[in-house]
Chains A and B, each alone.
Chain A
């Protein structure tokens, strides 16, 4: 069970399992390569911006409904998120164009997961702040808004900041593979 109350991942036990050799993905010894390729796909999926765009539209609905859309403080927070969302939206169009033209996106391809997961989290946080005390309710409760999706997504998107390679791992990858900074040296054996 995760912090959201759902069971979205499992503990799996393998005992004496035998797999036919024909089921090998790629070649023996290529596992890391296959794994990281799959992860790259997962990261880009986690960072897709149409989800972010609809989160932000939902957040605007809450702020309109509560009248907070007229509060300069909320408007400023909202517009900061709008700027980040728009930048990522067009950034992804740029990456897509690079892929179609078989052009290397450089470090640009490595930042999507890091940015969008944090952005989704920050949008959910604003939506919940916009609900004030109603923000404490969870799915199934009387008075809860949108079936408790905001509260769930607030927690779930924190999970996604961690999953698929934590934000800190992403920053190592961006720094090392994207910017060419040296790796952390291995500690000398004691």
Chain B
């Protein structure tokens, strides 16, 4: 058996990378970062045109009906570009939760909208639904301020709530990683009848959450690889004490150590995505282990490669902080490494 990407998967990776390099360069990322809202309105439609929003959506609904391996490829490239999009939430968690919803026109419309990049549906897991009421506050909801609808999940059941109805109060929160924003969402006095019940199952939610965790791990890997790349380039050019700094072992060994840790994460990511696609039981420990390991390695990588730039590494002008913060967001969201290692341990060792 060959291990690694197939030729079509390599072509997909190259085409996504090319699109992001051409259309979502670092200047555009910085514009979104520096804007008040952090929103890049056009990006969703562009990602839709490229087929990136519909990777996990059936072909008859406008998607390409591919798998987690392809979604992970996209997530990694998006992380490498630090693109202002919560791919794991909007284009992994949302379509996979919806895929397990009861069949019907509504489900088809929603998935078609996502595949085209015209609907932004934000899932809220473990939503505050009790006794027929939606009542309570949820924190750290991605893209809440510009979502078209919230997909509320509780115990595997899904409810779609139009974001524009009254009774939803959204307060943006200030985030360290300006490329992706989260908000506090308060639901008050809302009858569950205001939301559309879509069915769903606990098993479906479990699979979708694992997929989103893999996507966050992939995003962190892409960010770490980009951070290593730009610091190695810098180390080849920058002179100090009349020497190229990359010729100093103190600098060279940082780069070598980071590469040695980062490179194998790629293979663990491929294997984990494969396990998800194949429906293997292994995924119950692999998904949390992959996210824990990938984001831990990524944090350490960006911590070290930032130092390759010396004082420049601490400046706003240097791009390094963008990847540093990107890896931090990926690390904290949907389970940090310590929590996820415990989750994997519980599966493996009881």
Q: Say how far A53's CB is from chain B's closest CB, in angstroms.
A: 14
CB 8 Å contact bits of B242-280 with A (1 = contact, 0 = none): 011011110111011101110111111011000000000
Q: Are the CB atoms of B252 and A171 closer together than 8 Å?
A: yes
Confirm or deny: A94 has a beta carbon within 8 angstroms of a beta carbon on chain B. yes
Q: Are the CB atoms of B247 and A82 closer together than 8 Å?
A: no
Within 8 Å CB of A115, what residues of B? 260-261, 264
Q: How far is the CA of A181 from the CA of B245 in the complex (A)?
A: 9
Within 8 Å CB of A82, what residues of B? 289, 344, 348
Q: How far is the CA of A108 from the CA of B290 in the complex (A)?
A: 19
Within 8 Å CB of B232, what residues of A? 179-181
Given A86-B289, A181-B255, A185-B243: A80 touches B267 (CB 8 Å cut-off): no
Q: Say how far A47's CB is from chain B's closest CB, in angstroms.
A: 11
Q: How far is the CA of A100 from the CA of B342 in the complex (A)?
A: 37
Q: Are the CB atoms of A76 and B260 closer together than 8 Å?
A: no
Q: Are the CB atoms of B260 and A75 closer together than 8 Å?
A: no
**Contact partner, B3, options A75, A76, A97, Cβ 8 Å:** A97
Q: Is the interface of A mostly helix, strand, loop or mixed?
A: helix
Q: How far is the CA of A21 from the CA of B249 in the complex (A)?
A: 41
Within 8 Å CB of B2, what residues of A? 97, 100-101
Q: Which B219-256 residues sit within 8 Å CB-CB of chain A? A: 232, 235-236, 243-244, 246-249, 251-253, 255-256
Q: Say how far B205's CB is from chain A's closest CB, in angstroms.
A: 24
Kindly report which residue of chain B lies nearest to residue A79, judged by CB atoms.
Answer: B341
Within 8 Å CB of A78, what residues of B? 345, 349
Confirm or deny: A175 has a beta carbon within 8 angstroms of a beta carbon on chain B. yes
Chain A interface size range: 35 or more
Confirm or deny: B175 has a beta carbon within 8 angstroms of a beta carbon on chain A. no
Given A76-B338, A175-B253, A179-B256: A93 touches B349 (CB 8 Å cut-off): no
Q: Is the interface of B mostly helix, strand, loop or mixed?
A: helix
Q: Which A88-110 residues sit within 8 Å CB-CB of chain B? A: 88, 90-91, 93-94, 96-98, 100-101, 107-108
Confirm or deny: B115 has a beta carbon within 8 angstroms of a beta carbon on chain A. no
Within 8 Å CB of B286, what residues of A? 86
Q: Say how far B53's CB is from chain A's closest CB, in angstroms.
A: 29
Q: Which B292-350 residues sit within 8 Å CB-CB of chain A? A: 292-293, 296, 338, 341-342, 344-345, 348-349
Given A75-B342, A101-B2: A175 touches B255 (CB 8 Å cut-off): yes
Q: Are the CB atoms of B244 and A182 closer together than 8 Å?
A: yes
Within 8 Å CB of B338, what residues of A? 76
Kindly report which residue of chain B lies nearest to residue A97, judged by CB atoms.
Answer: B3
Which of B246, B264, B271, B292 gathers the greatest number of chain A CB atoms within 10 Å?
B264
Q: Are the CB atoms of A174 and B296 closer together than 8 Å?
A: no
Confirm or deny: B25 has a beta carbon within 8 angstroms of a beta carbon on chain A. no
Q: Are the CB atoms of B342 and A111 closer together than 8 Å?
A: no
Q: How far is the CA of A49 from the CA of B140 in the complex (A)?
A: 40
**Contact partner, A114, options B235, B260, B296, B349, Cβ 8 Å:** B260
Q: How far is the CA of A27 from the CA of B170 in the complex (A)?
A: 76
Confirm or deny: B4 has a beta carbon within 8 angstroms of a beta carbon on chain A. yes
Q: Are the CB atoms of A94 and B259 closer together than 8 Å?
A: no
Q: Are the CB atoms of A175 and B246 closer together than 8 Å?
A: yes
Confirm or deny: A159 has a beta carbon within 8 angstroms of a beta carbon on chain B. no
Within 8 Å CB of A170, what residues of B? 256
Within 8 Å CB of B235, what residues of A? 181
Q: Are the CB atoms of B349 and A69 closer together than 8 Å?
A: yes
Q: Are the CB atoms of A93 and B3 closer together than 8 Å?
A: yes
Q: Which B2-31 residues sit within 8 Å CB-CB of chain A? A: 2-4
Kindly report which residue of chain B lies nearest to residue A80, judged by CB atoms.
Answer: B341
Instruction: Give 20 CB contacts A-B under 8 Å.
Output: A82-B348, A87-B264, A87-B293, A88-B264, A90-B270, A90-B271, A111-B260, A114-B260, A115-B261, A168-B253, A171-B256, A172-B252, A172-B253, A175-B246, A176-B252, A179-B256, A180-B236, A182-B247, A184-B247, A185-B243
Q: 19 extra interchain contacts, Cβ-Cβ under 8 A, other than A94-B266, A179-B232?
A: A79-B289, A79-B345, A80-B296, A82-B348, A87-B264, A91-B264, A91-B266, A98-B4, A100-B2, A108-B263, A111-B260, A114-B260, A115-B264, A174-B256, A174-B259, A174-B260, A180-B236, A181-B235, A181-B247
